[in-house]
Amino acid sequence: MMHLREAARGCVAALALLGCADAAPTVTVTGCTSSAQCDDGVACTTDLCVVGGACQHVTDASRCASGMTCDAVRGCITPGSTTCSRAVDCDDGVPCTRAACLVDRSCSHVAQDDQCPTGQRCDLRRGCSSGTSGGCATAADCDDHFACTDDVCGVDGTCTHVAQNARCTSGMRCIAGMGCIAERACATNAECDDHLACNGSETCSELACVAGTAMSCDDGDACTVDTCVEGSTATCAHAPNPTCAGTTVRSGFYDLAMPVSYMCSGLGMPVVNYTFQALQFTVTGATMTVNGAPVPMTGSTPDATGRFRVSGTMSGDCNETYTLEGTFSTATHFTGAYSQSFAGISCGFTDCAARAWSVTGTAR
């Protein structure tokens, strides 16, 4: 029986003849003892532990959909596509480079010499190098894989990447080490600030300005027009919605312009004694209830003209009936009349009398 490692060596050695994979394997030294220890989480690679305790990850495009190829790090991708959504998607396996996902979803890899030992330079493909001062011998050694730059190897062995904006599409510009990026690049959050508070705080992320979260002024009332007002700070304004006038009332407390007060007695004892300067409106479906008077008053919600009428009765030997009727000019303001009446045999032993008050109410 052929051992797993022997099978792996056979497959790698005959890539072209047997179709075992579509690219040379990526090798990682791990001290593995079984292929199970080499799982890289990439579905389109064959993960093998070969002689010497090294993991091999052999890409196999046959595991990808038609037209796609297998990338040893990102899995199945469309050739030439921009697939990153975060910096980790752009990891090139070179420790001395800074990987970033740009606003156009393309990957950027910037060499950082300070990540190398003293006297070495960072090469985008080979990592830290102790060769000539720049690590290059020809222009090919300086290829940064960005089409918009001219890559030059100087006489001192130093690579230079000259940006050519003309090679970028409209609205883009070329930056060495990054390629073509959106015209409005940034380095700090301050560069993205549009000095408007209502649309939130803008930030700079991956060299591109990102919009902030707009301030929410929604008060949950469909009968108000909610807006954010710019100023030294953002504030919310809630104007009456004209489409709601006369048809919808906002639930809540309504303060009256003048208090309503009444007292009557019978046989030397108080029968009715109340004072109120606010009423609470509650809308539930097509029913409206008003609390705050001696008894709860109920009725239908305002009609198309804004008119409404609610009433309530306290039953007894002397029935007390209280009524509020009027018109809503907006969803938060009404004018009308509050009235009371008394009926029953025992009412004759009291000085309680029918009465009405003009009232005006405004939502808090």
- pLDDT tens figures, 120-149: 777 766 677 764 444 677 888 788 788 888
- Please classify residue 210 by burial: count the beta carbons closer than 10 Å to its beta carbon, then call 0-12 exposed, 13-18 middle and 19+ buried: middle
258 and 310 together in one domain: yes
The whole-number pLDDT of residue 19 equals 35
120 & 22 share domain: no
Contact residues for 200 (Cβ-Cβ < 8 A; gap 6+): 211, 212, 213, 214, 215
Query: In this structure, what token pair is assigned to residue 67?
Result: 């037209």
Specify the pLDDT at position 246.
47
- Domain of residue 309 covers 245-363
225-268 tens-digit pLDDT: 888 988 878 899 887 665 554 456 888 999 999 999 999 998 88
Flag whether pLDDT at 82 surpasses 60.
no
Please indicate, yes or no, whether residues 63 and 95 belong to a single structural domain of this protein: no
CA 230 from centroid of its chain's CA atoms:
22
Mapping DSSP onto H, E and C, the string for the chain reads CCCHHHHHHHHHHCHHHHCCCCCCCEEEECCCCCHHHHCCCCCCEEEEEECCCEEEEEECHHHCCCCCEEECCCEEECCCCCCCCCHHHHCCCCCCEEEEECCCCCEEEEECHHHCCCCCEEECCCEEECCCCCCCCCHHHHCCCCCCEEEEECCCCCEEEEECHHHCCCCEEEECCCEEEECCECCCHHHHCCCCCCCCCCEEECCEEECCCCCCCCCCCCCEEEEEECCCCCEEEEEECHHHCCCCCCCEEEEEEEEEEEEEEECCEEEEEEEEEEEEEEEECCEEEEECCCCCEEEECCCCCCEEEEEEEECCCCEEEEEEEEEEEECCEEEEEEEEEEECHHHHHECCCCEEEEEEEEEC
Query: Is 178 found in the same domain as 136?
Result: yes
Based on the fold, state whether residues 17 and 92 are members of the same structural domain. no
Q: Do residues 331 and 257 both lie within one domain? A: yes
Which of 77, 107, 128 finishes a domain? Answer: 77
Question: How many domains does the chain fold into?
Answer: 3
- 25 domain-assigned: yes
CATH code where residue 261 lies: 2.40.128
Residue 303 phi, psi (nearest 5): -80, -170
Same domain, 177 and 285: no
Query: Stretch 68-95: mean pLDDT, rounded?
Result: 72
Answer yes or no: are the C-beta atoms of 48 and 89 closer than 8 Å. no
The whole-number pLDDT of residue 43 equals 84
Q: For residue 82, is it within any domain?
A: no
Residues 252 and 333 in one domain: yes
- Range of weakest confidence among 34-48, 277-291, 343-357: 34-48
* pLDDT at residue 150 tops 60: yes
Return the CA Rg of the chain.
40
**156-185: per-residue pLDDT in tens?**
677 778 888 888 887 777 877 777 876 666
Which amino acid is present at 262? Y
CA distance 50 to 34: 8
The whole model's pTM is what? 0.36
Locus of tokens 């003293």 = 118
Supply the mean pLDDT for the chain: 78
Instruction: Assess contact for 128 and 118: CB atoms under 8 A.
Output: no
Query: What confidence tier does 81 reach under pLDDT thresholds 50, 70, 90?
Result: low
Q: Which residues contact 318 (CB under 8 A, 6 or more apart)?
A: 271, 342, 343, 344, 345, 346, 347, 350, 352
Q: Does residue 189 fall inside a structural domain?
A: no
Q: Which amino acid is at 222?
A: A
In angstroms, rounded to a whole number, what is the distance separating the alpha carbons of residues 271 and 319? 11
Based on the fold, state whether residues 144 and 116 are members of the same structural domain: yes
pLDDT surpassing 70 at residue 80 = no
CA-to-CA distance for 251 and 290, rounded, in angstroms?
Answer: 10
Instruction: Report yes or no on 163 lying in a domain.
Output: yes
Answer yes or no: is 200 within a domain: no
Tell me which of 3-12, 205-214, 222-231 is least confident: 3-12
Residue 232 lies in a domain: no
Domain limit, last residue, from 24, 50, 77: 77
Under a CB-based contact definition with an 8 Å cutoff, are residues 271 and 354 in contact?
no
Do 50 and 126 sit in the same domain of this protein?
A: no
CA–CA distances in Å: residue 18 to residues 2, 62, 66, 273, 333? 17, 13, 20, 101, 84
Q: Quick one: average pLDDT of 73-97?
A: 73
172 shares its domain with 121: yes
Contact between 265 and 275 under an 8 Å Cβ cutoff? The reply is: no
Residue 135 lies in a domain: yes
Of 127, 160, 182, the residue at which a domain comes to its end is: 182
